[in-house]
Amino acid sequence: MRYVLAFFVPWLVFFTMGKVGRGIICLILQLTVIGWLPATIWALSSVGNYYQDKRTDRIVSAINTTHQQPAAEPRRI
């Protein structure tokens, strides 16, 4: 869904991700005819990075929950 928004209204994607400053900059860029294409490319790459960060956070939290038990100390002879 965010990819479709990034294609048609790139500035709105930044607001849905909670990045208001970038959304305003993207809106100003999009208001120019020349800036429409860079704004769309910027929004599409930001959506990809957003999903990648979410995936990484899920992996890190899964690793932390499985390794929360303290490991036994190795035996010393």
Instruction: Give the end-to-end CA distance of the chain in Å, rounded to a whole number.
Output: 60
In tens, the pLDDT along 22-44 reads 999 999 988 887 888 899 898 99
What count of Cα atoms within 13 Å lies in the side-chain half-sphere of residue 45? 7
In tens, the pLDDT along 42-60 reads 899 999 999 998 999 999 8
| Of 44, 45, 32, 34, residue with least CA distance to 8 | 44
Please give the DSSP secondary-structure letter assigned to residue 77.
-
User: Domain spans of the chain?
Assistant: 1-47
Given CA atoms 37, 39, 40, 46 in this order, what sign does their dihedral have? positive
